[in-house]
Amino acid sequence: MPDIALYQPDIPQNTGTILRLAACMGVRVHLIEPAGFPVSDSALKRAGMDYLERAALMRHMSFADFETWRAAQGLRLLLMTTKSAAPYTEFSFQANDILLMGRESSGVPESVHDLANARLTIPMAEGMRSLNVAVSTGMVLGEALRQTGTFPKSQC
């Protein structure tokens, strides 16, 4: 099942929302530091409520550390970016993908763009710049889970 990676997130509330999403969908989140807020259990608990304990969170002290880990695992890196013409809705996801979400304030540097196996965007109405990172993550993760057949089994 796909993982989520957050590149140096700025906003703890977005990180908490994404951790809650990940806990509910049973996916792992990679937090690539440094973050723009203190990364402590108490700060993340305030943002992610009681879902933090259920979230699979893996912290990486730098992008270089994350990239070393990812390369050793042989996982594809899919960058969600506004600097792409390839819509995520036309992409074929695999269970071993990592969905990389850029920093809210500045995205990711060109060096990270260059390392991505694919750069994908969310189609939007003319003149609109971007969506909230947590909303974007939910949209793309939903499609990746649908395509790979890895949605959690319903308890109903």
Which residue ranges are tagged as binding site? Answer: 80, 102, 122, 130
Alpha carbons 133 and 106: distance in angstroms, whole number: 12
In angstroms, what is the C-alpha Rg of the chain? 15
Which residues fall in the annotated binding site for S-adenosyl-L-methionine? 80, 102, 122, 130
Closest CA to 100 of 67, 147, 54: 67
Contact 119, 86 (CB under 8 A): yes
Let me know if 105 is exposed, middle or buried by CB neighbors in 10 A (0-12, 13-18, 19+): exposed
Q: How far is CA 30 from CA 85, 86, 153, 156, in A?
A: 26, 24, 23, 30
